[in-house]
Amino acid sequence: MGALEPVEERENSEKDGEERAEEEKEKREDEEHKDLEKGEEGFEEQVGRGTPQPQGDFHVSMLQRLNPSNPLRVAIPGVTRATTPSPAQPRSTSTPTPQQTITTLNSTAYTNRISLFLFLLHAVLAVGLVCFLIFKGIQGLLEPGQVQRKERKLLKYFLPQVEAASLLSITLAFAWQKAVRTWPKFMIHFILWSTFLMSLSAGILLICFQMPSTDGVGVCFILFAIGNGLYACWVTHRIKFCSKIFIKSLEPASKFPDLNQPTYWMLGVGFMWMSLWILAVMGASNFHFPPLIIIVLVLSLAWTAEVMRNVANLTVSRVIALYYLRGMQCNTKFCFQRALSRNLGSACLGSTFVPAIEALRIVARGLNLLEGEDEFMFSCAHCCLHIMESIFRYGNGWAYVQIAAYGKGFVKASQDTWELFEKRGKEMEAIVDSDITSAICFLAGVCSGSMCTIVVAAWTFSVHEGFTATLSLLAFFVGYLMARIAMALPHACVSCYYVCYAENPDNRLFDKTIPDRLNLIKSGRDVVVPTPRVPRHLPA
């Protein structure tokens, strides 16, 4: 700046010309000389620091250091300048693509809390009732009189047979699970026809005792055996595909050596609880309204055993589902803890409704086959089928896979699972709807219960005829429940295979079993008989 001031003053002095005195010119020249000396000294100091250059080269270096982002702005080192805004860029008119949300696999919310509360309340009441009835039974043994004689008779002729049925049932339960995992193809045929033979044998044995009570129970067994035989003939064409699914779905189980431990824990807890429950049944005879109390105990045990089965189902479903969906090998222990805590409410709710839904499916199939031309039968079938169609969307056994994997509630998981099947087409829906895995697991329980009935009925008739019918039913009930808990593992594996395939059919872990089946159905070379959802014909 000192170098520019003399130039401006010189131009002003030329304009004034002769009006200015000579003395002022000399004085200004002296000041200009002094200013130039100061400017050179300051410039030399800056050059000595290495920042600027001589004036002639300074402008050139400034032009060479243009800012690359804004050519109109010169970047001067050591000087802080305000940033010049860049020219406004035209706005993009394209809308941003919404990102797909990924459902979390680590939900910490408790599902179906009302059902969880009701089950826990029921468990507390059931434990209290069982303990009270056991106390009444012990009290009856200690007090002399008629009650003592009755309790001793029950202890001698009632308790050994039921405990034997419990031991036999848990032995058969372990055998079912091991056999199904080892020989899945053979076991499907074996379960179908051994159930027919065992139930028929139990019915004939009870009728041979020639007592009114045993005759009634025996007729029920024979009628079931006839229905079971007809069903086995009806599903013959489905067995081959079911065997393939069983074999393929059980393959991941070999990668988790401890996968069957939750089932074993549930079987052990179930066995101990049934042993106490049997003592409570004996104690109920020494209290008011014994038939009513025994019915309450039976319903409580049925719900508890079903919840145990579904806890094992949820544990296995989470391990296998995460293996299919994410390729993860989860810790079975953590999955078991999750099923016992966060997902227990869904297990309780599903345990209440799924058995009723399965029973409704059987009734609907029977009515659809028998409706004929009768208007009343048609009306019943029409009503039942529409109810069944609605219920299947809000509650089905396939929901446990999404409950275990994503932590959804039972109703939400049922809806989402069935929507997955519907998105894959009518053929996929028909394949899933006609799956016989649930029937195989159910028949395994019936077969186990029939075996227990044969052993207990023969034993009881030889020692005390009066208890034969009661103990036969009790043995069947215990054997059925224990086998159902054991079959939770293969059932969960098959369910995961179907549901995970519907969610991601391109997964490399799935082979061509289901696609080949779908192609056969589409081409008309294979026929699937689904669960009827609409009446076969309309009335004239």
User: Is residue 436 helix, strand or coil?
Assistant: coil
Name, in order, each residue with C-beta under 8 angstroms of 419's C-beta and a sequence gap of 6 or more.
none
Q: To the nearest whole number, what is the mean pLDDT of the chain?
A: 80
pLDDT band for position 190 (cuts 50, 70, 90) = very high
pLDDT band at 522 (very low <50, low <70, confident <90, very high): confident
Tens of pLDDT, residues 423-477? 887 778 888 888 889 899 999 999 999 999 999 999 999 998 888 999 999 999 9
Provide φ and ψ at 285, rounded to 5°: -70, -15
Q: How far is CA 515 from the centre of its chain?
A: 24
HSE value, Cβ hemisphere, 13 Å, CA-based, for 110: 11
Residue with the bigger pLDDT between 445 and 89: it is: 445
- Residue-wise pLDDT for 421-438, tens only, equals 988 877 788 888 888 898
Buried b (16+ CB within 10 A) or exposed e, 136-158: bbeebbeeeeebeeebeebeebb
Proportion of the chain above pLDDT 90, given as a percent: 47
pLDDT band of residue 119 (cuts 50, 70, 90) is: very high
Place of tokens 């080192």: 77
pLDDT tens digits, 255-297: 999 999 999 999 999 999 998 999 998 888 878 888 899 999 9
Percent of the chain with pLDDT over 70: 73
Degrees to nearest 5, angle at CA 324 with 318 and 325: 85
Measured from the Cβ of residue 387, the count of other Cβ atoms closer than 10 Å reads: 12
Would residue 169 be called left, alpha or beta, if left means φ above 0 and alpha means ψ between -120 and 50 degrees?
alpha
Residues 6 or more apart whose CB falls under 8 angstroms from that of 278 comprise 159, 162, 163, 166, 474
